[in-house]
Chain A
Amino acid sequence: MLQNSAAARQADREQLIHSLRRHATWMRRRSIQMVFEAGQGHPGGDLSAIDILATLYFGILRYDPKEPNDPMRDRFVMSKGHCTGALYTALAGAGYFPEEELTTYLKPDSLLNGHPNRTYLPGVETNTGPLGHGLPVSVGIAIAGQIDAADYRTFVLTGDGELQEGSMWEAAMLAGHRKLDKLTAIVDRNRLQQGASTEETNALEPLADKWRAFGWEVIELDGHDHAALFDTLGAPAAGKPRCVIAHTVKGQGVSYMRDQAGWHHGVPSPDQYSQALAELVLEEPLA
């Protein structure tokens, strides 16, 4: 059976927000452990996206991990497919596969590929990795829902640097044209791409104006504020697709990784790993 955000919303809101925070802390600890043990990964982007994924998977999305292909499920597409630390901890936490599977991350023949593969892992909607793919696929999902007048929603998380890919704007144009109001694109606006800041590389600003010009509703918020994320991502449709520009910090939650382009695919030393875990305190274990 689809678990429903409406049910979640009936619960005490404060309690829910608290639970989102705990899920996010658990995901941060677990994803850094994955990167540390695998000796590679993309921790900076994982940490900037985790609060968004925690809010979606533990507060917003309707899904049943036992029925990953339920036609009426809400869809989440990870367009910034390299941030698998964030995605895999969300899927494990959501019950799509046992948490122990996370220990195989990037090992030979692991189901936890460096970029998500739907044929390996339940809960992955489409294979991503090359940038610029997630939004077109999400637009296709939303069009299928529009044709069927179905009420499922489609969420896609894109990197901000990824918006330099032309295919994203092809898709954005079509979504605006078709008024796909059950589609939400979330931009992980950490302002850093692999080598430098987005604004130095190929400026995205004025970013909100660009989305508006393509026919989207635009909401900007703090991408680490679970309450704001929960309220905005759960808000009713507005007759057009919604773009949430989530202002985030790459490496959020670990002091020495914060806002450092070098941690795009850095790996912590043993001392740094201990420090990261010490900074990310999980007051009580997740149920």
Chain B
Amino acid sequence: MNAAPTPAPGMFDCRDSYVRTLEALAGEDRRIVAVVNDSVGSSKLGKFREMFPDQLVNVGIAEQNMVGVGAGLANGGKVPFVSGAACFLTARALEQIKADVAYSKANVKLCGISSGVAYGELGATHHSIEDLAWLRAMRELTVIVPCDPSETAAAIRAAAAMDGPVFIRISRMPVPELDHSAPFAIGRAERMREGGDITIIATGTLVYRALAAAAILDRQGIAARVINMATITPLDEEAVVDAARETGAILTAEEHVVRGGLGGAVAEIVATRHPVPMRILGFDGFQPTGSAEWLMERAGLTSDGIARSALDLLAQRGT
């Protein structure tokens, strides 16, 4: 694996928040077990291993077994946090996630690390930009995509507190800590900026970029509402319907392909409950090699790109 870039001042790698939270939880509750596929380093669990050697299970490079073992640990009364690179965890072990975890309602927490295009240069095998689509197809699996360090910590704690299967998508792309209007709750969208002209619904690493895009639009006299959709399943449908009804246009933004992720989830609600013009911003398929930031820029997943798409959408709507 390539090394993660050192975050600029004021920017954070959410893996740090993830492991600090897991270390704290593991000390409070000995049922917490980290399960890894030789990914102690990439999951930043080295200190966890030193602190709680009996609460770390390393299965080696074997993702199917890792998820099955996680389900077994849950059967034995543990609260396993199964942690591996999102691309391998979700794709290689998809049937285990379906049968052993989601369908069995096993109390397993799946942590997809370095999701999206974080491994930019390593190419499409290592990008995880399809995971939300295949996991979102299972209503029985809670899917959370935190946007910053504090939301990552809150999501890990909420997942540990809930009895049931959860997938948490944990990026290593640097993000700032954001001002939250309400404490994180599974299934609740967070309105991070008010606005009546258009709504930008973003998730994960796109939330701060969406807020910056809203500031750009504001300078052009456009009031954009920004919603942080941290929970993809169960989706906060009312927040989507309210946005459609009150702002009349919805732009979604995610570090994921444009098929079946956040945009798909929002479109299902908009199309069936309150149709309004929409645009889905994301990747259009397998991505070439290149830095993560270059790939994001190329797909328009920057504050400028989001603002531009919002203007296009508004032009299309005819306002």
Interface of A toward B, CB cutoff 8 Å:
71, 75, 117-119, 125-130, 132-133, 135-145, 147-148, 150, 166-167, 170-171, 173-174
The secondary structure that dominates the B interface is helix
- Partner-contacting stretch, out of B53-61, B123-131, B249-257: B53-61
Tell me the chain B residues, 29-88 only, with Cβ under 8 Å from chain A: 33, 54-55, 57, 59-60, 62, 64-65, 67-78, 80
Name the distance in Å between B293's Cβ and chain A's nearest Cβ: 36
- Partner-contacting stretch, out of B98-106, B218-226, B267-275: B98-106
The secondary structure that dominates the A interface is helix
Instruction: Decide if B99 touches A130 in the complex (CB within 8 Å).
Output: yes
Contact-size category for B: 20 to 34
Any A CB within 8 A of the CB of B95? yes
A128-B99, A129-B99, A143-B57 known; A137-B72 Cβ under 8 A: yes
Instruction: Decide if B62 touches A170 in the complex (CB within 8 Å).
Output: yes
Contacts of B77 in A (CB 8 A): 71, 144, 148
- Nearest residue (CB) in A for B105 is A119
Contacts of A173 in B (CB 8 A): 60, 62
Instruction: Decide if B65 touches A139 in the complex (CB within 8 Å).
Output: yes
Instruction: Decide if A126 touches B100 in the complex (CB within 8 Å).
Output: yes
Any A CB within 8 A of the CB of B228? no
A136-B72, A137-B69, A170-B62 known; A118-B99 Cβ under 8 A: no
Bound CA span A171–B62, Å: 9
Bound CA span A150–B76, Å: 10
Would you give the 0/1 interface string for B92-128, flagging 1 where the beta carbon is closer than 8 Å to chain A? 0001100110011110000000000000000000000
- Nearest residue (CB) in A for B102 is A127
Instruction: Decide if A141 touches B73 in the complex (CB within 8 Å).
Output: yes
Instruction: Decide if B100 touches A136 in the complex (CB within 8 Å).
Output: yes
Instruction: Decide if B95 touches A130 in the complex (CB within 8 Å).
Output: yes
Name the distance in Å between A215's Cβ and chain B's nearest Cβ: 13
Contacts of A144 in B (CB 8 A): 33, 72-73, 75-78
Instruction: Decide if B68 touches A140 in the complex (CB within 8 Å).
Output: yes
Ranked nearest first, the 9 interchain pairs of A and B with the lowest CB-CB distance are A140-B72, A144-B76, A136-B68, A170-B65, A140-B69, A170-B62, A167-B64, A141-B72, A137-B72
Bound CA span A245–B71, Å: 25
Contacts of A142 in B (CB 8 A): 72, 76
Instruction: Decide if B68 touches A167 in the complex (CB within 8 Å).
Output: yes
Contacts of B78 in A (CB 8 A): 144, 147
18 A-B pairs in the complex with CB atoms less than 8 angstroms apart: A119-B104, A125-B75, A126-B72, A136-B65, A136-B100, A137-B71, A137-B75, A139-B65, A140-B70, A140-B75, A140-B80, A141-B73, A144-B73, A167-B62, A167-B96, A171-B69, A173-B62, A174-B59
